[in-house]
Amino acid sequence: MTKARAVSDRPAEHPVDQGEDASPRSRNRRGQGLLLREEILRAATALIVRTGSDQAVTLRSVAREVGIAAPSIYAHFADRDAIVEAVVLEAIAQLHQGIADAVAEHEDPVESLLAGCAAYVDFGVREPARYRVLFGWAHPKADSPAAELPGRRQGLDAFQTLVEGLRACVSAGRSSSTDPFADAVAVWTALHGQVTLRADLPDFPWPPTDTVERMTRSLGRIDS
């Protein structure tokens, strides 16, 4: 386990709040450490949702939100990047679970594929700030192996659900795709564009979200 650095080693751009701005908060009873960790995570998520950016997450702002002194955070997170990483991992897990639940509700491969794609867009539209941080937050140092980037495996698992769904359509004779992986990339690109454009241009006269079905059927080469 990586040890948290001493307070004096913290980067200057993330000053440590010694608690002068924190609201009084009763100490957690023995065995409630996980409760404080959850409160820290909820506070960081709330900051991201309110501001639309993970830049609002600092040790000082999270501590103030929870009502604790900033040094108390170190028992649960090494630094602010570790907090944002936890928010990202939770968002990915919820997105993946939502897709999996939607897919499982249908036996027909096409309906299953369409439901999964709709669930993806639904999450992005409902949670624009959390969705944006999945792709826009400052990742670890460039020298970190790609396989170790937080959320990479979970994100690939979610994408694999799309690939497998399209392959199921091909196997059932419902899609003429000859390269399910490439066509799944095209579908994902379109879904991501749908989510980000709706978030960035809310005043545009967007058509109903059934455009997701039209895009999926077209790019997934669904025959019927």
> What pLDDT shows up at residue 208?
72
Q: With a cut of 50, which residues of the chain have pLDDT below it?
A: 1-26, 29-31, 144-147
> What pLDDT shows up at residue 170?
97
> What pLDDT shows up at residue 172?
96
> What pLDDT shows up at residue 158?
81
> What pLDDT shows up at residue 157?
78
Q: What is the pLDDT of residues 82-118, one digit of tens each?
A: 999 999 999 999 999 999 999 999 999 999 999 999 9
- Record the tokens describing residue 119, joined without a space: 């669930």
Parse the chain into domains and list their residue ranges.
11-77, 85-219
- Angle of helix 109-126 relative to helix 80-104, nearest 10 degrees, comes to 150
> What pLDDT shows up at residue 211?
87
> What pLDDT shows up at residue 16?
37
Angstrom distance (rounded) from CA 135 to CA 95: 13
Are the CB atoms for 109 and 174 separated by under 8 Å?
yes
Name the superfamily (CATH) of residues 85-219.
Tetracycline Repressor, domain 2 (1.10.357.10)
Please say whether the dihedral angle defined by the alpha carbons of residues 171, 177, 180 and 184, taken in this order, is positive or negative.
Answer: negative
> What pLDDT shows up at residue 156?
76
> What pLDDT shows up at residue 210?
72
The residue whose two tokens read 């978030």 is 199
> What pLDDT shows up at residue 32?
54
pTM above 0.85, yes or no: no
- Record the tokens describing residue 212, joined without a space: 């997701």
Q: How many residues does the chain have?
A: 224
- Record the tokens describing residue 221, joined without a space: 């080469």
Angstrom distance (rounded) from CA 58 to CA 96: 27
Which residue type sits at 137? Answer: W
Angstrom distance (rounded) from CA 166 to CA 187: 10
> What pLDDT shows up at residue 29?
44
> What pLDDT shows up at residue 138?
59
Q: Cα separations (Å) of 124 from 44, 105, 127, 139?
A: 18, 20, 5, 20
CB within 8 Å of 219: residues ≥ 6 apart: 183, 186, 187, 190
